[in-house]
C-alpha cells in the first residue's frame, strides 16, 4: 500500500504499529480493504476457473482481467453503479464485479446461456453489459467505445438545460426510451495503452477537453498490446506525456496495482469531474501476468525476466500482503475469505454449466426494435391540406417546396415537438460564434447545402451545433447520446466522407441492440448528402455506395427521390426506434422535379413501402434516388415512341425494401430492370435481381437487366461523368431491349 492515513491525524502509520479503530487508507476503511481483497481475489479466481473451463471446452473463449484488478476495484469504489455510466474494457472484470455484477452472470456469458444478462449468448465473455448498473454493452474493436462515452457524458448538461427532454411521450420511440440524468453523473471509459493508438481515442480527447465533459479516461497500461510493446505504440512509450497538453483535464499517472494509490487518484479525479470542472485522465501502470488471451502464448515474445519483474507487482498478492502487514486480516482470516470465495465460485460454475442455451429461432430477435415498427400503419399518414408555412428564414408561402425546404421544415417541426432532438455535424450550425447571430451581424450558414439553416437561431446552440471535422466522432457521440435516450439527428457532410465513421457504423451503432439482447439501443438518424450528376462533382463529391450500408443488419436505410417523400420518411426516421441512415441526393435538393407543398407537421411514410411513380403493364423498372426522374423520362419516351408501358417503382426505402410491390409488378409485366446510380457490380440492384430470379423465375419472359454506373470512379469532366453515370439514353435503351426480348 502506498499511503496509509489515520482519520484523526494525517501522516503515515508505520508498519507494525497497532491498528487503530477508524483508521482509513486514503479514505478506504479496513472493511473496504477486506472487500477489495475479496473482489480482486474473486476476479482472479474467476479468470482461472474460466481458463480451466476453456481447456475443458466447456466455454469457447477466455480473456482475463489479471493484473488489472486493483485499479478496477478502486474505480468502482469511487463511482456509483446505476448512477454513473461505464464503458469498460475487456480487462475490467474486477470493476464490473465491484459494481455489482456477479461471477454467475459472467459465467453465463462464458457458456453462452440464454439467461446471460450481457448478451443472451451473443457476445464473447468479458464483453460486459449490465443495464441495471449502467455498464454499457461493449464490443471487440479496440477503442470504439471511447467516442460513445463522450456522447454519454454530454447528456447531463443537455438535460439540465432542457429538462423537457426527459419527458415521456407516447406514439414514438420515447414511449420505450427513458432519459434519466441526475445532473452530476460521471462517465467512465477505459482502454489499453495499445488502444490509445486508435484515431478515435484522440477524437474523444478533443471533444472531452473542448466541452469540459464529466468523463474519466482510464488507460490501463500493461505495456503490451498482444505482442506489441508500448514503445512501438507511441513515441516515448508514455501516454501521459503525449496527452498532457490537452486543456481542462485533471491528470493522474499512477501505479494501478496499488489499490490505495488508485483509489486516491480516482477520488481526486471524480471530485473534479462531478463538480463539472472538466474531464479526467488516469494513466494506470498495471501488469499482464497471463498471455493476452488463451489464443496467445506470451513466451514467444516475452522472456522470463519480464514475467518475474511483473510478479513482484501482482495486485492480488500485494493486497493480501498489505492486509496482513496492517493487521487487518491474519493468515487464517485470509484463508477463510479465500475458501468462501472458492466455494461460492464452485456453486456458480456448477450452476452455469447447467444453464440452458438460447433457442435457435431467437437469433433474429432485437436486430430492430421490438416495440416500434416503422413499417406499420401507424407511420402511414396523409399530407395535411395545403398549409401556409413560415420557413426558418421567416418567409411565408403555400407553394410547392423543394426537397431541401421540406427537409429543413421537417427538422424544425420535429425539434419543436421533441426536445430530445439534437443536431450536430460539420457546418450545420448557423454560426458557432453566436454573438454574431444575436447581434444580427450575420445571417448564418446552416449547412453547406443549407438544410439546417435557421435551426440554431430558433432552438439555440445546445441543440444545433458544429462538430469538429471528425466523422467517427459525429457518429460515435450520437450513439452515446442515443443510448441514453436523446435523439441525435446528425449530418455527415458528404457521403464521400462517411468512411472514417465506418467502424462506428458497422460494428457499433446498428449492433448495440442485438448484441446486448435488447439491454441497450441507440436509435438516431444520420442524414447524408449523396450522389453525383453534379457536373464537376468528381471522385470525392459524387459517390454512392448505399449497398455497403444495406448490407448491415440493424441499420435502416432510406433514399427519397422527391420533396414529399423526404419529409415523410425523415419524420418516420426521427420518430422510430432504430438507427437510420437517411440518404439525401444532392442533385435532387433543389430540382423542379418532385417539389411539393408543405405536408404539415405529422406527415409520415412507413419504411419499406415503395411508390409506383408511373403505372404500366410491360416492364417493371425498379429504382430510387436520382435515377427516378431519369427513368421516368426514358419511360415516357418509350411509351410515346413505341407504346411500351413501363411500371416505374421508386423503392424510397432500401432496408427494408418493398418486395411485395416488386413481386406484384413483375408478376404482371414479366420483365424487370433494376436501375441504380452506384457502380454496377456488387451493387444494390444485385440483391433485387437475384431475388427476382430466385422467386419469380417462372414469371419472367426476359432476363433481369441492371442499369447502373460503370465500375469506375466518377470523373470531374462532365463528358466523362456522363459516360460513367447511368443516363436517360442508357435507361431508354435497356427498357427497349428488354421489351423486345
Ligand atoms: C480495431 C481492432 N484492431 C485489432 C484488434 C485485435 N486486438 C484485440 S486486443 C488487441 C490488443 C489491445 O491492446 P491494449 O489496448 O494495450 O489492451 P490489453 O489487451 O493489453 O489490455 C488487439 C490488437 C481489435 N480487437 N480491434
pLDDT of residue 399: 83
Confidence bin at 583 (pLDDT 50/70/90): very high
CA distance 20 to 6: 8
For ligand 1, atom 19, name the residue with the nearest CA.
225
For ligand 1, atom 25, name the residue with the nearest CA.
141
Q: Which residues of 165-186 are buried (b: 16+ CB within 10 A; e: fewer)?
A: beeeeeebbbebbebebeeebb
**Taking a C-beta distance cutoff of 8 angstroms, is the pair 131, 105 a contact?**
no
pLDDT of residue 392: 59
pLDDT of residue 229: 97
Asked about 541 being catalytic, the answer comes back as: yes
- 223 within ligand 1 shell (Cβ under 6 A): no
DSSP-derived 3-state class of residue 144: coil
Summary mean pLDDT of the chain? 95
pLDDT of residue 23: 85
pLDDT of residue 394: 62
CB atoms within 10 A of CB 361: 7
**Per-residue pLDDT for 273 more than 70?**
yes
- 142 within ligand 1 shell (Cβ under 6 A): yes
**Per-residue pLDDT for 3 more than 50?**
no
Nearest-atom index, ligand 1, CA of 198: 1
**What average pLDDT does range 278-283 have in this prediction?**
98
pLDDT of residue 19: 52
Measured over the CA atoms of residue 559, residue 565, residue 567 and residue 568, the dihedral's sign is negative
pLDDT of residue 388: 65
CB atoms within 10 A of CB 299: 10
CA distance 250 to 270: 9
- 141 within ligand 1 shell (Cβ under 6 A): yes
For 524-569, the pLDDT digits (tens) are 999 999 999 999 999 999 999 999 999 999 999 999 999 999 999 9
For 442-463, the pLDDT digits (tens) are 999 999 999 999 999 999 999 9
Range name among 286-295, 620-629, 635-644 with the lowest pLDDT average: 286-295
Find the helix or strand (DSSP H, E) in which 706 lies: strand 705-709
pLDDT of residue 17: 43
Entry pTM: 0.96
pLDDT of residue 22: 79
**Per-residue pLDDT for 18 more than 70?**
no
**What average pLDDT does range 260-285 have in this prediction?**
98
**Per-residue pLDDT for 183 more than 60?**
yes
CA distance 665 to 661: 6
For 98-132, the pLDDT digits (tens) are 999 999 999 999 999 999 999 999 999 999 999 99
pLDDT of residue 395: 64
CA distance 68 to 186: 21
**Per-residue pLDDT for 628 more than 70?**
yes
Amino acid at each position: 500500500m502506498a499511503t496509509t492515513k489515520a482519520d484523526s491525524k494525517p501522516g503515515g502509520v508505520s508498519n507494525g504499529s497497532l491498528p487503530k479503530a477508524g483508521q482509513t487508507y486514503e479514505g478506504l476503511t479496513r472493511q473496504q480493504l477486506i472487500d477489495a481483497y475479496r473482489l480482486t481475489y474473486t476476479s482472479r479466481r474467476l479468470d482461472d476457473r474460466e481458463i480451466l473451463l476453456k481447456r475443458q471446452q466447456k466455454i469457447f473463449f477466455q480473456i482475463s482481467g489479471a493484473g488489472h484488478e486493483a485499479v478496477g476495484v478502486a474505480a468502482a469504489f469511487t463511482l456509483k453503479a446505476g448512477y454513473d455510466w461505464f464503458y469498460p474494457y475487456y480487462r475490467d472484470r474486477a470493476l464490473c464485479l465491484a459494481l455489482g455484477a456477479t461471477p454467475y452472470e459472467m459465467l453465463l456469458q462464458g457458456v453462452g446461456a440464454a439467461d446471460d444478462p450481457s448478451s443472451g449468448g451473443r457476445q464473447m465473455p468479458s464483453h460486459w453489459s449490465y443495464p441495471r448498473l449502467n455498464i454499457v454493452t461493449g464490443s471487440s474493436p479496440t477503442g470504439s467505445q471511447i467516442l460513445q462515452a463522450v456522447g454519454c457524458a454530454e447528456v447531463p448538461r443537455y438535460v439540465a438545460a432542457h429538462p423537457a427532454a426527459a419527458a415521456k411521450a407516447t406514439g414514438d420511440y420515447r414511449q420505450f426510451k427513458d432519459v434519466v440524468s441526475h445532473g452530476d453523473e460521471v462517465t467512465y471509459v477505459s482502454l489499453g495503452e495499445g488502444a490509445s493508438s486508435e484515431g478515435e481515442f484522440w477524437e474523444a480527447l478533443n471533444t472531452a477537453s473542448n466541452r469540459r465533459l464529466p468523463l474519466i479516461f482510464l488507460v490501463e497500461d500493461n505495456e503490451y498490446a498482444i505482442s506489441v510493446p508500448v514503445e512501438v505504440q507511441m513515441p516515448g512509450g508514455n501516454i501521459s506525456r503525449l496527452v498532457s497538453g490537452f486543456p481542462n483535464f485533471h491528470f493522474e499517472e499512477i501505479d494501478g496495482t496499488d489499490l490505495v494509490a488508485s483509489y486516491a487518484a480516482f477520488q481526486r479525479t471524480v471530485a473534479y469531474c462531478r463538480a463539472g470542472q472538466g474531464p479526467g485522465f488516469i494513466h494506470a501502470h498495471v501488469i499482464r501476468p497471463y498471455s493476452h488471451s488463451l489464443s496467445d502464448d506470451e513466451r514467444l515474445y516475452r522472456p522470463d525476466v519480464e514475467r518475474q519483474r511483473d510478479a513482484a507487482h501482482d495486485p492480488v498478492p500485494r493486497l493480501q500482503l498489505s492486509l496482513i502487514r496492517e493487521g487487518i486480516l491474519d493468515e487464517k482470516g485470509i484463508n477463510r475469505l479465500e475458501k468462501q470465495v472458492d466455494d461460492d465460485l464452485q456453486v456458480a460454475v456448477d450452476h452455469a454449466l447447467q444453464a440452458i442455451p438460447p433457442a435457435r429461432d431467437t437469433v433474429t430477435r432485437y436486430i430492430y426494435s421490438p416495440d416500434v415498427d416503422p413499417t406499420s400503419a401507424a407511420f402511414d399518414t396523409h399530407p395535411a391540406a395545403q398549409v401556409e408555412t413560415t420557413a426558418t428564414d421567416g418567409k411565408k408561402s403555400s407553394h410547392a417546396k423543394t426537397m431541401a425546404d421540406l427537409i429543413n421544415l421537417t427538422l424544425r417541426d420535429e425539434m419543436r415537438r421533441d426536445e430530445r432532438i439534437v443536431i450536430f455535424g460539420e457546418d450545420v450550425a448557423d454560426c458557432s460564434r453566436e454573438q454574431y447571430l444575436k447581434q444580427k451581424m450575420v445571417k448564418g450558414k446552416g449547412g453547406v447545402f443549407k438544410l439546417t439553416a435557421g435551426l440554431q437561431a430558433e432552438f439555440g446552440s445546445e441543440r444545433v451545433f458544429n462538430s469538429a471535422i471528425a466523422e467517427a466522432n459525429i457518429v460515435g457521440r450520437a450513439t452515446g447520446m442515443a443510448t441514453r435516450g436523446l435523439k441525435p439527428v446528425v449530418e455527415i457532410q458528404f457521403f464521400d466522407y462517411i468512411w472514417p465513421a465506418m467502424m462506428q457504423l458497422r460494428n457499433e451503432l446498428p449492433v448495440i441492440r442485438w448484441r446486448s439482447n435488447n439491454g441497450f439501443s441507440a436509435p438516431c438518424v444520420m442524414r447524408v448528402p449523396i450522389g453525383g450528376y453534379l457536373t464537376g462533382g468528381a471522385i470525392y463529391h459524387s459517390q454512392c455506395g448505399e449497398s455497403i450500408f444495406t448490407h448491415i443488419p440493424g441499420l435502416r436505410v432510406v433514399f427519397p427521390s422527391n420533396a414529399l417523400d423526404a419529409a415523410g420518411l425523415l419524420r418516420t426516421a426521427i420518430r422510430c426506434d432504430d438507427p437510420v441512415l437517411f440518404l439525401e441526393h444532392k442533385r435532387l435538393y433543389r430540382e423542379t422535379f418532385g417539389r411539393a407543398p408543405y405536408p404539415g407537421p405529422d406527415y409520415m411514410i412507413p419504411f419499406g413501402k415503395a411508390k409506383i411513380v408511373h403505372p404500366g403493364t410491360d416492364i417493371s423498372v425498379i429504382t430510387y434516388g436520382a435515377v427516378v426522374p431519369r427513368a421516368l423520362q426514358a419511360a415516357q419516351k418509350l411509351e410515346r415512341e413505341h407504346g411500351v408501358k413501363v411500371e416505374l417503382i421508386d423503392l424510397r426505402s432500401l432496408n427494408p425494401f418493398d418486395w411485395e410491390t416488386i413481386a406484384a409488378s413483375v408478376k404482371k409485366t414479366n420483365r424487370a430492370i433494376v436501375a441504380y446510380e452506384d457502380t454496377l457490380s456488387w451493387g444494390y440492384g444485385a440483391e433485387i435481381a437475384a431475388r427476382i430470379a430466385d422467386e419469380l423465375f417462372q414469371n419472367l419472359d426476359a432476363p433481369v437487366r441492371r442499369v447502373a454506373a460503370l465500375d469506375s470512379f466518377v470523373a470531374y469532366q462532365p463528358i466523362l461523368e456522363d459516360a460513367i453515370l447511368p443516363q436517360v439514353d442508357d435507361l431508354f435503351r435497356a427498357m427497349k431491349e428488354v421489351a423486345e426480348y
